[in-house]
Chains A and B, each alone.
Chain A
């Protein structure tokens, strides 16, 4: 599978998790693609540099370089939009007023703790809003291909990269599976690839379990 296809499978599946009326923050990378699959859902996108009600990317006609998203790309805004300062924007985030944050990750451990800001062996000079979003959003969904370029699993028993915070995320959507984090450990909610849970466990390096015995395999 091409990496671009994997990214879209993940984005499309995450879009299914979102509900009408929700305030949603989409991180940079795969999370941004989620907006392409919202169809007719009325979801309000928040961007941490100070906008609720973000619209599609700017076109040549409506380009205004003051108006950007957190990835510094020019965007548009909807009729329902509001603009506010960075302090207000993070009050919204930390204060639990954002329903869902969709974030990229480098690693997620079996309890749902994530590492998504510091790349190992490189100077750590950027964090942006990553830690605020992990801490404050009501629900956190993480989006990533299951394996890094070197073939190692991003779902790990213990983080080897630097943690983004002690808050555990709710859901990890990769191109292979949707995984929920529970008190008992990670539980596979749905498999998105033509692969058995045994094969998936082997790839990840430890045994994965389904959320319940009566699972439905949802092949694409």
Chain B
């Protein structure tokens, strides 16, 4: 099965209204090339699940500026001024979740679990409207699992089957998102032959990954620069 494709070929994998799981913490581990490809499509009305909405003109921030995002589900949007303004004008819906709840909800989504009870956020505004239950004398709230129509993730290396390894803290949400999308597209810095990655160190087994593309970005000093 051929999983390695040209980046432009992924455009047809998306449709308007899709819920898209997007890896990254800020720009670290964000699939910048895949997001650029999305910008070339006319799809709109997207629901994006991501810790935050990119950073200063890069990553998801570009997608947001283009008006393609209807709703954002994540944990930290306050540093993005335009997102705050759009939200206050009613142009952007936001679902705010504690970061750990977001991560666990996606993990559950990919693992066939419908939801989970957590102590995080009990008694706070973020627990409003959520089912509460006492387990062994402690209060918990129910959080539903999160899945995506498409998951777009970033890894350091892939082999041609789609086994993935990550680099330092660019791992973040990517391994869970790899499990929770109906279609999973991995952007990587390097594509190697099967057998070159040590099986002991593979983080995401190829079973989760549908397509692999070569990243067009590289790190130059303190920036991610489009270089290919």
Q: Mark A105-142, 1 if CB is under 8 A from B, else 0.
A: 00000000000001000011111111110011000000
Please tell me if the beta carbons of A94 and B27 are within 8 angstroms of each other in the complex. no
Please tell me if the beta carbons of B123 and A66 are within 8 angstroms of each other in the complex. no
User: Is the contact region of chain A dominated by helix, strand, or loop, or is it mixed?
Assistant: loop
Q: Mark B87-111, 1 if CB is under 8 A from A, else 0.
A: 1100000101111111110110000
Residue in B55, B120, B174, B219 whose CB lies within 8 Å of A131: B120
Distance between Cα atoms of A2 and B79 in the complex (Å): 27
Residue of A51, A93, A132 with most partner-chain B CB within 10 A: A132
Please tell me if the beta carbons of A124 and B96 are within 8 angstroms of each other in the complex. yes
Question: Closest A-chain residue to B179, C-beta based?
Answer: A87
Question: Closest A-chain residue to B80, C-beta based?
Answer: A125
Q: Which 8 A-B pairs have the closest CB atoms?
A: A90-B100, A126-B78, A132-B100, A86-B103, A66-B170, A166-B123, A125-B77, A67-B168
Q: Tell me which residues across on chain A come within 8 A of B167, comparing CB atoms.
A: 66
Residue in A123, A130, A164, A167 whose CB lies within 8 Å of B84: A123
Please tell me if the beta carbons of B175 and A64 are within 8 angstroms of each other in the complex. no
Residue in B87, B124, B166 whose CB lies within 8 Å of A125: B87
Q: Mark A33-60, 1 if CB is under 8 A from B, else 0.
A: 0000000000000011111000000000
Does any Cβ of A come within 8 Å of B83's Cβ? yes
What are 24 A-B contacts defined by CB distance under 8 Å? A64-B219, A65-B27, A67-B169, A68-B26, A68-B28, A85-B103, A86-B103, A86-B172, A86-B173, A86-B176, A87-B107, A87-B176, A89-B100, A90-B103, A91-B104, A94-B118, A94-B119, A126-B77, A127-B75, A127-B98, A132-B100, A135-B119, A165-B122, A166-B123
Residue in B83, B124, B168, B172 whose CB lies within 8 Å of A165: B124
Please tell me if the beta carbons of B222 and A65 are within 8 angstroms of each other in the complex. yes
Please tell me if the beta carbons of B106 and A87 are within 8 angstroms of each other in the complex. yes
Q: Mark B173-184, 1 if CB is under 8 A from A, else 0.
A: 111100000000
Q: Mark B69-80, 1 if CB is under 8 A from A, else 0.
A: 000000111110
Total A-B pairs in contact (CB under 8 Å)? 155
Q: Tell me which residues across on chain A come within 8 A of B176, comparing CB atoms.
A: 85-87
Does any Cβ of B come within 8 Å of A147's Cβ? no
Please tell me if the beta carbons of A51 and B168 are within 8 angstroms of each other in the complex. yes
Does any Cβ of A come within 8 Å of B208's Cβ? no
Given A127-B76, A127-B126, A166-B122, A66-B98 contact (CB < 8 Å): no
Distance between Cα atoms of A124 and B221 in the complex (Å): 33
Q: Tell me which residues across on chain B come within 8 A of A132, comparing CB atoms.
A: 98-101, 120
Show the binding face of B for A, using Cβ within 8 Å: 25-29, 51, 55, 75-79, 83-84, 87-88, 94, 96-104, 106-107, 118-126, 139, 166-176, 203, 219, 221-224
Please tell me if the beta carbons of B222 and A85 are within 8 angstroms of each other in the complex. no
Please tell me if the beta carbons of A66 and B28 are within 8 angstroms of each other in the complex. yes
Please tell me if the beta carbons of A123 and B88 are within 8 angstroms of each other in the complex. yes
**Chain A's nearest CB lies how many Å from the CB of B158?**
16
Q: Tell me which residues across on chain A come within 8 A of B124, comparing CB atoms.
A: 131, 162-165
Question: Closest A-chain residue to B176, C-beta based?
Answer: A87
Please tell me if the beta carbons of B28 and A65 are within 8 angstroms of each other in the complex. yes
Given A84-B171, A123-B88, A125-B94, A68-B122 contact (CB < 8 Å): no
**Chain A's nearest CB lies how many Å from the CB of B54?**
12
Please tell me if the beta carbons of B99 and A123 are within 8 angstroms of each other in the complex. no
Q: Tell me which residues across on chain A come within 8 A of B224, comparing CB atoms.
A: 65
Does any Cβ of B come within 8 Å of A77's Cβ? yes
Residue in A63, A77, A127, A162 whose CB lies within 8 Å of B99: A127
Q: Tell me which residues across on chain B come within 8 A of A210, comparing CB atoms.
A: none
